[in-house]
Amino acid sequence: MNKYTFLDITAFTGIFVMLFLALFLFTVKTKHKLGNSLFAFFLIANAIDACKYLIHDIPENLINIEAFRWSIALLVPATFYLYVKSICFSDFRLKPKQLLHLLPLVVFNLILIPGLYLGTPTEKLEFLRHMNDMPEIHFFEILFETSFQIYFIAAFLILKRSRTIYFENYTDPNLSLIRALYLITIVYYLLHLLVLFRRLVTYTIGFGEIRDWIITVDGFSFLLSTCWYLFIALNSPEFFRGVNSKLESSKDIAQKRKAAILIDDETNERIESLKEFMTSKEPYLDSTLTIQELAKQVKMPAKDLSVLINLYMNKHFFDFINEYRIEKAMQILRDPLQKEVTILEVLYQVGFNSKSSFSASFKKHTGKTPTDFRRSSN
């Protein structure tokens, strides 16, 4: 089997897996329907772009379709960016203004109309022959690369912001899924670097053996990443709960208020009052507790409570709540009358939702696993 046959098989398999995964995302039952649909469109756009690996000759009657296929790649970074927003922000909705993301595709196709779409067969072939020398095509290649970098940076900034706000407002983040979203973004960027490297080789060395092998590696990497996407989707059809995009981090709130991070008597009283409430009322036993819900219970504005915990007490809300949960779990594990209660039952009793999150928090707080702690206490 030569490298060209290998590339054909790899590309065909990757395209099939992507389309299968897109179908799965369109049909799976989930509360995050918009996010799944956007990722499905992202996969379909990649599959259409990946058809380039299978296309060796373009029949005259299909030149227009092939030209339109080129423009689909302009939608890939924008679609991925919108997907990240839909996952990170629970209140994200598509709005008319987001049609602006279609502008590069529309303008690119308008440029192709006179020389390609409306041209005679001879004019079309002449256009294709000299296309790589056209300044407008070079402009769109630069535009695509620039927009890709902007969308990629924007996606990472959104991930960073939402992760910070999530820790400051919620108590049950699934860290493995947050990491998976980071990894998907990184893998997507690394795949793009291969494409960029291939373009550089084409413009500097030209068509040849090196470029052919880069295309083969690119196609194989495309297949591997597609299979990895499929693995994540089948194992975790729902990513972590998104934050509300209107939420602000505690540092942003403090900066807006120009508040000095100094603990005075009034702040100390509020801290002690909050600790007393946590001990007596045990709101942390609610696994879905958010900072907004706790603020209602302690009759304090959510922004004030966020600043109190995250800045004055120097703790994420996530850690603040989990410390009380771990203390409660330690009480249960020390109690000889509850030695028949399993570790799984304990973690649910104290407000955790997953064994991995409970074990990680318990070890961080005590230096021991729950099992070791029970054994040493008894």
What the block records as the tokens of 190 is 């690394």
pLDDT at 257: 53
| Residue 222: closest CA among 97, 378, 45 | 45
* Sign of the C-alpha dihedral computed for residues 322, 327, 332 and 336 taken in this order: positive
Q: What is the DSSP string of 123-185?
A: HHHHHHHHGGG-HHHHHHHHHHHHHHHHHHHHHHHHHHHHHHHHHHHBS---HHHHHHHHHHH
* Residue 66 burial by Cβ neighbours in a 10 Å radius (0-12, 13-18, 19+): middle
Write down the pLDDT at residue 330: 92
Let me know if 238 is exposed, middle or buried by CB neighbors in 10 A (0-12, 13-18, 19+).
middle
- How far, in Å, CA of 125 to CA of 168, rounded? 59
CB-count burial class (<10 Å; 0-12, 13-18, 19+) for 316: buried
The pLDDT score that the predictor gives to residue 16 is: 87
Q: What pLDDT does 258 receive?
A: 46
Q: Return the pLDDT at 246.
A: 58
Instruction: Work out the angle at residue 240's Cα, subtended by the Cα atoms of residues 192 and 158, and round it to the nearest 5 degrees.
Output: 50
Domains of the chain (ranges; CATH) run: 3-235 (1.20.1070), 248-315 (no CATH), 316-378 (1.10.10)
pLDDT averaged over 10-residue windows placed end to end, the chain, 378 residues: 67 84 81 81 88 78 85 89 84 89 89 85 81 77 82 88 76 64 81 77 70 71 73 59 56 54 73 91 88 89 84 83 92 87 90 83 88 83
Helices 291-298 and 135-169 cross at an angle (nearest 10°) of: 40
State the pLDDT at residue 39: 85
Position 277 scores a pLDDT of: 92
- Determine the pLDDT at residue 231: 72
* Rounded Cα–Cα distance for residues 350 and 285 (Å): 5
From 24, 33, 40, select the one nearest 93 (Cα to Cα): 33
Give the pLDDT score at 249.
59
Nearest residue to 352 (alpha-carbon basis) of 326, 376, 320: 326
pTM of structure: 0.72
* CA dist., res. 378 & res. 362, Å (int): 17
Structure tokens at 11: 């590309």
